[in-house]
Structure 1
Amino acid sequence: MKFEGTQSYVATDDLKLAVNAAITLERPLLIKGEPGTGKTMLAEQLAESMGAKLITWHIKSTTKAHQGLYEYDAVSRLRDSQLGVDKVHDVANYIKKGKLWEAFESEERAILLIDEIDKADIEFPNDLLQELDKMEFYVYETNQTIKAKQRPIIIITSNNEKELPDAFLRRCFFHYIAFPDRETMKKIVEVHFPKIEQTLLSEAMDIFFDVRKVPGIKKKPSTSELVDWLKLLMADQIPEAVLRDRDPTKAIPPLYGALVKNEQDVQLLERLAFMTRRQNR
């Protein structure tokens, strides 16, 4: 079964090729791209299209690799032993299964999403090399080896906050989700708003791509932010004429809070508007 995208997810030909190549090679698919370009949603839609279970492991700065395998609660066991609880004699009662264990024991092939792997410590990816290679790991406390019943399809996302180790990269199939061009963006928006007025969409996209092209802007608006902005424009019934006939001395678009997300960029747009006013005198 090949991934061809879904009705609610516009996948480019390159992305579909990358997903299917990773599945064929039985390699983790490492996805990079700007925030808001649909990296996490890819795993969700892949699971939907294949009718597979999605197991999501959200990575934080404090996440350790062994937490994806299992965690042994020695403190609870010690407390129970002091209280004379019967279950203390079986160490398995104090083993908490991680997301990899959950994926490995699935009877049907699962989709495992390791989301934002670059948030963790630099050694985190290397600590998972053997488990991702051999699809098995050893539980010392219970003296058992956990092997994957069905090799999961692994999607790993990264926002490029830090470089990933070469040894880890060698084991992955890599794809960078380029920012959508105007035509692709139009298709994405129409998935969310199939009845959107085309004139409103055209004018809004003009402003959106203009803001992204402003030199020095710190946080370029993303696809998800465009979708949010259009939702507001339609909810407030902002006419396309307001966008089309906007004053060039006012660089900040209406309801800009959905697009511009920090004060530095707001100030930058305000300075551009001030410079435009001076040039027009």
Structure 2
Amino acid sequence: MRGTPPESAPGWHVFHGTGALPDGGPVPLPEAPPWRRFRGEPVLTPPEDDEEATRRRLGQVEPVSQLDATSIEMVNAALLLRRPLLLTGPPGVGKSTLAFLVAREMGLGRVLVWSIVSRTNLRDGLYAYDALGRAQAIAAWRAAGPDSPGTDGVERGADGQPLPSLGDFITLGPLGTALLPYERPRVLLIDELDKSDLDLPNDLLHVLENGSYEVPELVRDSHDSMAVHTSDPDRRASVRNGRVECREFPVVVITSNGEREFPAAFRRRCLPLEMTTPSREKLLAIVSNHFRSLPPDAEPLVDLFLERVRSGGTHSLDQLFNAVQLTTAGGLRDDGSSRRLLEMLLRDLSTGR
């Protein structure tokens, strides 16, 4: 689905919150500020969008804005300044969905997702090294027979197989993959950072500021370049001298449910955006996108959902989608049993009632 940008939008607004490609194709991003330019090589082409994953998040997007003016302006500021966007707000208001909205509308390909838990550390996001797997592979290679040099200078075993490459046992994580030197920025979703260990936000500062990192195992290796696995299925990338530097700083969307505060130094490097429950008009547009058209009984369910939200507690858009789906499928009748089911579907998630 393609759309047309609003005529009233400022010239630096390249994102309009529709999730639909403009009629002329992906819009070029504004030039990065001098202090946010990077020179990573070799330049890579981003993979195509994972359409199934995007459709699960966004539905069949119609070219109408799903965000308010403040949210659209802040996203555009993040795109212009090449700074991470820190989204706060209650669970279920569509914070993580924003990353998919940006990726689809800007034509930036598959979204990289880094889901945070209490045990997550910086290295989990950058890369993983399977040292045990490599040791076992080398042992099996040596067991095949005595070593013999190949005519191409590559060390080979008696069966002609080359020594297992170090790069075969290194996989870049979502953050590490996003910082590869792509010709257009990747979209990275760091989901629920407030669940992390206290040190992770501070550990992220250096990487997000410099747009680069090193893989020590590759730095110590004698090869100038090594192909490693990435977080994209069946894709590899070449890392030179063990160092990765981006070409275009990724579009980083960080979500938080407000379970704790982040250090001032971290917040200073992000652009803040507090998201709230969408308006009735936006909710109807979102429901229409997910169901490809607005179901007949959707409006009263949207009104009931908004009534619950205004009464306090925690509610999620998924609850509304579930209620609409059951109604559309004929699963809810006008009787006491169906009303109780509807009450359970739209219950306050913080209390379970």
What interval of TM-score do these two structures reach, taking the shorter chain for normalisation? Answer: 0.7 to 0.9
**1:157 is aligned to 2:244:** no
How big is the shift at 1:264? 4.9
Q: Is the 8 A contact 2:67 2:282 kept in 1?
A: no
Corresponding residue of 1:72: 129
Figure out how many residues of one structure are paired with residues of the other and give that number: 253
Query: Letter of the aligned partner of 1:196 in structure 2?
Result: P
Structural RMSD (CA): 2.8
SS in 2 for 1:142: helix
Indicate the SS of the match to 1:96.
Answer: strand
Aligned counterpart in structure 2 of residue 195 of structure 1, from 280, 283, 294: 294
In structure 1, the partner of 2:78 is: 22
Q: Quick one: structure 1 residues 96 and 201, their matched pair in 2 at CA, closer, same or farther if it must change by over 3 Å?
A: closer
User: TM-score, normalised on structure 2?
Assistant: 0.64
CA pair 262-22 structure 1, distance change in 2 beyond 3 A: closer
- Once residues 171 and 38 of structure 1 are traced to their aligned partners in structure 2, the CA distance between those partners, rounded to angstroms, is 23
Unaligned residue ranges in structure 2 (runs of 5+): 1-12, 21-60, 143-155, 157-161, 220-241
8 Å Cα contact 1:109/1:150 also seen in 2: yes
What letter corresponds to residue 223 of structure 1 in structure 2? L
The answer for the alignment partner of 2:273 in structure 1 is: 175
C-alpha deviation, 1:33, in angstroms = 1.6
Counterparts of 1:113-128 in structure 2, within 5 Å, are 113-128=189-204
Q: Which residue of 1 aligns with 2:153?
A: none
Secondary structure of the equivalent of 2:198? Answer: coil
Aligned residue type for 1:210: E
Question: What is the CA–CA distance in structure 2 between the aligned matches of 1:264 and 1:150, rounded to whole Å?
Answer: 44
More helix, by proportion: 1
**CA offsets, 1:208-251, max 9 Å, x none?**
23333446x5xx33222112212212222646xx4xxx99xx9x
Instruction: Name whichever of 150-159 and 160-169 sits farther off.
Output: 160-169
- TM-score scaled to structure 1, two decimals? 0.79
User: For structure 1, which segment, 19-28 or 140-149, has the greater mean C-alpha deviation from structure 2 after superposition?
Assistant: 140-149
* CA positional deviation for 1:156: 0.9
Do the aligned residues in 2 keep the contact of 1:56 with 1:112 (CA within 8 Å)? yes
Shift of 1:201: 3.7
Contact 2:201 2:263 in 1 (8 A): yes
- 2:15 counterpart letter in structure 1: F
Q: 1:226 maps to what in 2?
A: 320
Q: Does 1:205 align with 2:280?
A: no
Q: Which residue of 2 aligns with 1:138?
A: 214
Distance 1:19 1:92 in 2: 36
Gaps of 5+ in 1: 267-281
Work out whether residues 287 and 294 of structure 2, in 8 Å CA contact, stay in contact via their aligned partners in 1.
no
Per-residue deviation, 1:111:
1.0
TM-superposed deviation, 1:140: 1.6
1:101 shift after superposition: 2.4
Q: Equivalent residue of 2:218, what SS?
A: coil
For residues 31-110 of structure 1, what are the structure 2 equivalents within 5 Å?
31-53=87-109, 54-85=111-142, 90-105=165-180, 106-110=182-186
